[in-house]
Amino acid sequence: MQTGGMDVGYHHGDLRAALIRTSFEVLADCGLRRFSVAAVARRSGVSSAAPYRHFPGRDHLLSAVSAVAARELREAIEATGSLAEAAGAYVRYVARTGAGFHVIFAAELYAVPDDERREQTRALMTTLIDLAGDVSYERALQRVEATIAVAHGYTSLFADGFYDHHATTVDEIAARATDAVRSLF
Amino acid sequence: MQTGGMDVGYHHGDLRAALIRTSFEVLADCGLRRFSVAAVARRSGVSSAAPYRHFPGRDHLLSAVSAVAARELREAIEATGSLAEAAGAYVRYVARTGAGFHVIFAAELYAVPDDERREQTRALMTTLIDLAGDVSYERALQRVEATIAVAHGYTSLFADGFYDHHATTVDEIAARATDAVRSLF
DNA sequence: GTCTATACCGGGATAGAC
DNA sequence: GTCTATCCCGGTATAGAC
């Protein structure tokens, strides 16, 4: 898939990457529920057939999005120093990109054999486990799960419009998620 | 909508209620994402047109499901004595029925003018606020939101197969959600 | 109140031109 | 590599028979 430094000169330069980028927008706007290859194509300004040159099908495109989201999220989390701050980083990342754990670990991706995605999701979990502190692996896993639950929970409420009445900002929600995780441990 | 004690003698007796009941199964099996009137009809053993005698469209059926879920969930929560236990009750209810906050407060229902749903969701929130203890309304709301976030987060992880590797049971997840909320306050 | 049949729409995916 | 054109499928919703 690499362009190898040559200017290939076709319409987009890198439609594959553009499609992945646009997929985030579609996810943010429509949710995983109404995510469609056709919508991504429209929004990218290409025909509905074009994406199939780069991805065999809808799930493979989603898998590529999952891999990118897992990497970017891990990088955001590595810039913090604790699980509590990681929860805040998660809230901000999902609010910004539209792709959270429900996309990264979407059930429909289990059957998609995408080594890149599997590597990136594994690395993300490893990073979280490392942040859990010097405890047993079992205990670390439970802490990570609790953190994910809190972060994902707040994010879902925010995304579902739960806070609309109070004009709550992303940063406020991120702070609440951070505080909640902090008081867990 | 009440049958008024008369035996009406048609195919189902009460197709409206049966459709709502079947909707829970479809939600549990397919998720909100793939929920469809057609699937509910198939599963109920009626034609795809039959539901439209009782509900104007997909969203109205979902709204009726939301109202029932809000009432049943409130009853389950009223049987507990604290927000922490309410979180556990929530995990168990959603695992059993498939309809959680993402259904009860689904964004696509905002536009549906269903007084019964609005009343039931309001009552559910009131019940939760009352459990938050003798604090300011603002503080109570924050506690409720934190509780919902934790409960919904754990439930999502469970539903998405996050715990499959460890053969975790519903009761274990419910206990973790309860513990997490307890350590929040 | 429920049926069969159908119109309509939109997404998934492929064929073949360029 | 992308286009246009097309097929298939399934869900929404309605019309009219029973």
pTM: 0.88
Is A62 within 7 A of strand C by CB distance? no
pLDDT in tens, B9-20: 445 689 999 999
Q: How many CA atoms lie within 13 A of B113 on its CB side?
A: 0
Taking each helix axis as running N to C, give the angle between helix B37-44 and helix B58-78, from 0 to 180 degrees, rounded to the nearest 10. 70
Instruction: Return d(Cα A97, Cα A159) in angstroms, integer.
Output: 12
| C-alpha–C-alpha distance, residues B44 and A178, integer Å | 45
**Å between A183 CA and nearest CA of chain B:** 6
CA of A121 to C1' of D4 (A): 39
3-state class (DSSP) for residue A19: helix
Per the CB < 8 Å rule, is A153 touching B157? Answer: no
Question: Would you tell me the crossing angle of helices A83-97 and A137-159 to the nearest 10 degrees?
Answer: 30
pLDDT reported for residue A178: 97
Q: What pLDDT, on a 0 to 100 scale, did the predictor assign at position A162?
A: 77
B55: left (phi over 0), alpha (psi -120 to 50) or beta: beta
Q: What is the DSSP letter of B53?
A: G
3-class DSSP state of A22: helix
Mean pLDDT of the region B80-91? 97
Mean pLDDT of the region B57-71:
98
Are the C-beta atoms of residues A149 and B154 closer than 8 Å to each other? yes
Q: Taking a C-beta distance cutoff of 8 angstroms, is the pair A84, A181 a contact?
A: yes
In the DSSP assignment, the letter for residue A53 is G
- DSSP letter at B98? S
* Cα A46 from Cα A89, distance rounded (Å): 33
Counting as low any pLDDT under 50, the low residues of chain A are: 1-10
For position B164, what pLDDT does the model report? 75
* Chain B touched by A165 (CB under 8 Å): no
Asked if A147 and A77 touch (Cβ cutoff 8 Å), the reply is: no
| Longest CA–CA separation in chain B, Å | 55
3-state per-residue secondary structure call for A55-110: CCCHHHHHHHHHHHHHHHHHHHHHCCCCHHHHHHHHHHHHHHHCCCHHHHCCHHHC
The pLDDT tens digits of the residues spanning B127-179 come to 999 999 999 999 999 999 999 999 999 999 888 777 877 878 999 999 999 99
Length A47 CA → C17 C1' (Å): 15
Residue with tokens 């995990």: B91
Rg over CA atoms, chain B = 18
What is the structure's pLDDT at B68? Answer: 98
Percent of chain B surpassing pLDDT 90: 78
Confidence of residue B125 (pLDDT cuts 50, 70, 90): very high
- Mean pLDDT, chain B, whole residue set: 91
How much is the pLDDT for B2?
A: 39
Residue A154 in contact with partner chain B when CB distance is under 8 A: yes
Distance of alpha carbon A164 from alpha carbon A141, whole angstroms = 33
Q: Give the residue on B whose Cα is nearest the Cα of A104.
A: B160
**Residue A177 to chain B, least CA–CA distance (Å):** 8
- The DSSP symbol for B169 reads -
Which 46-105 positions of B have CB less than 7 A from strand D?
48-49, 52, 56-58
- Strand C closer than 7 A to residue B48 Cβ: yes
> Number of Cβ pairs closer than 8 Å across A and B?
89
Say whether the CB atom of B57 is under 7 angstroms from strand C: no
Dump pLDDT digits (tens) for A103-120.
999 888 989 999 999 999
Question: B168: nearest CA in chain A?
Answer: A142
Instruction: Tell me which chain A residue has its CA closest to the CA of residue B125.
Output: A162
CB proximity B106 to A under 8 Å: yes
pLDDT above 70 covers what percent of chain B? Answer: 94
**CA→C1' distance for B49 and C6 (Å):** 12
